[in-house]
Amino acid sequence: MGPEELRGLVSAGVAVDTATVLREWLAGRDRAEPFTFVVALDGRLRLAPRRSEHVALAGGRDVLAAGEMGFGAGWRVTEVTNQSTGYCPAPDCWDAVAGALDRLGISHPGGFADTIVFRRCPACGERNIVRDGDFTCALCGGALPEQWNFATG
């Protein structure tokens, strides 16, 4: 998943194995903007500065979830989205996000603040964000499928 040219990039992210790792990593960072995150196939949370590429953060591998994550006081998660055009994650990836945060003992909002619905156009192959329930390709006008249709691997 994601653009081929990003798969080999090295990310300045961190694998968050403990709440202490998260606290130390956040200590020197501006929290005015959210951070890029992925949940790896092993359930491990990885974080990087916001403008980092999700595919690079994941080392080009498949993920359980991807998006942006904001933090409040301490290391409490205040906002999470599934905004990742590299992976175009389905809304049901929240369970992987919650599981990763729960294993770390990090409080979270219990769901996505903004849930983005992604679909690939079967006619032209373009990635789309479905807005207001309109399953029409923004590029070619073709019909988008009701079900998530991004292959992994």
Confidence band, pLDDT 50/70/90 cuts, at residue 28: confident
Tokens of 26: 């956040």
Tally of domains within the chain: 2
**pLDDT, position 73:** 82
Per-residue pLDDT at 74: 77
Are 68 and 127 part of one and the same domain? no
117-120 and 77-81 strand pairing: unpaired
Residues 90 and 153 in one domain: no
pLDDT in tens, 60-82: 999 999 999 999 987 899 999 99
Tokens of 18: 């403990």
Arithmetic mean of pLDDT, 87-113: 97
Specify which residues 71 forms β-bridges with: 77
Indicate whether 45 belongs to any domain: yes
Mean pLDDT of the chain: 91
Domain of 87, in residue numbers: 4-104
Give yes or no: residues 26 and 83 share one domain: yes
Burial 49-65 (b: 16+ CB within 10 A, else e): eeebbbbbbbbbeebbb
| More confident of the two residues 133 and 11 | 133
The answer to whether position 112 is within a domain reads no
Angstrom CA distances, 62 to 20, 25, 56, 95, 100, stand at 26, 24, 11, 16, 16
The reported pLDDT for the residue numbered 110 is 96
